[in-house]
Amino acid sequence: MSGNPKTVLLVEDNAVNRDMLIRRLTRAGHTVIAAEDGEEALSKMRQEHPAVVLMDMNLPVKDGWTASREASADPALADIPIVALTAHAMDHDREQALAAGCVDYATKPIDFPELLAKIDKWLGQR
């Protein structure tokens, strides 16, 4: 398997939140690359083959659910775990994300230690 075993792809269109998470994840020792929409996320996944994807669901151009479905349907990308990040906090939002092919789910505002634990868990499984 080619790619970067420690790289985390962060897909987030909101600049404030994106910059904040990049800085915090970098500080925590992760290599972080970023994308601003679903389309860009898919192309970054193909180019960089990151170890974990953190994906916001409300995205311009192509939303997170569509991008996740397409990634899990693509044999080249299906093994990359996608963790959904969303401000939608209802039960059915979680089910919707898991149904779209995400392996995990984190609600905004992000509990950062918990997010790090999730990332470690999915990195460890590779």
Partner 1 sequence: MQLRPRLSLRARLYLFSVAIFTLFAINVGTHLWGSFARNESLVAYRDAVSAAQLTADLEQSLENQRQQVLVLATLRETTEDPLGNDELNTAIDDLEAISTRLRRLGALGIEGTEDYYRRLHESASDLLDLWRRFYNSYNNEGPVPNVDTPTRYNDAQQRLRELDQRQAYLAVQRSNAIDRTIALTDRITVLGFIASIAITTLLVVLLLRSTNASLLRLKIGAERFGSGDLSHRINEQLDAGEIAELARTFNEMSGKLEQAIEEVRAAKADADNANAAKSMFLANVSHELRTPLNAIIGYSEMLQDELGDGAEIDRAQFTHDLSTIIFSGRQLLSLINDILDLSKIETGKMQVSLSVFNPGDLVAQVCDTLSPLLGQHHNTLVLEIDRDSLYDIESDAGKLQQIITNLFSNACKFTDSGTITVSAQIRDEILDIGVSDTGIGMSEAQQAKVFEAFIQADASTSQNYGGTGLGLAIVREFCEMLGGDIVLESTPGAGSRFSVRLPAVPVSDRAVA
In the complex, which residues of this chain contact partner 1 (CB under 8 A)? 13-14, 16-17, 20-21, 23-24, 27, 56, 58-61, 63, 87-90, 107-110, 112
* Residue 107 CB, nearest approach to partner 1 (Å): 7
Q: How far apart are CA 41 and CA 43, in angstroms?
A: 6
Residue 43 beta carbon to partner 1: minimum distance, rounded to whole angstroms:
18
Please give the angle made by the CA atoms of 6, 110 and 21, to the nearest 5 degrees: 45
Cβ-contact 118, 106 below 8 angstroms: yes
Burial class, 96, CB count within 10 angstroms (exposed 0-12 / middle 13-18 / buried 19+): middle
Q: Which residue, 37 or 80, has its beta carbon nearer to partner 1?
A: 37
Which residue number, 80 or 106, has a Cβ lying nearer to partner 1? Answer: 106
Tokens of 32: 């972080």
User: Nearer Cβ to partner 1, position 13 or 48?
Assistant: 13
CB of 69 to partner 1, least distance (A): 17
CB of 56 to partner 1, least distance (A): 8
CA separation (Å) from 9 to 43, 46, 126?
Answer: 11, 11, 15
Given the complex with partner 1, which of 80 and 115 has the nearer CB atom? 115
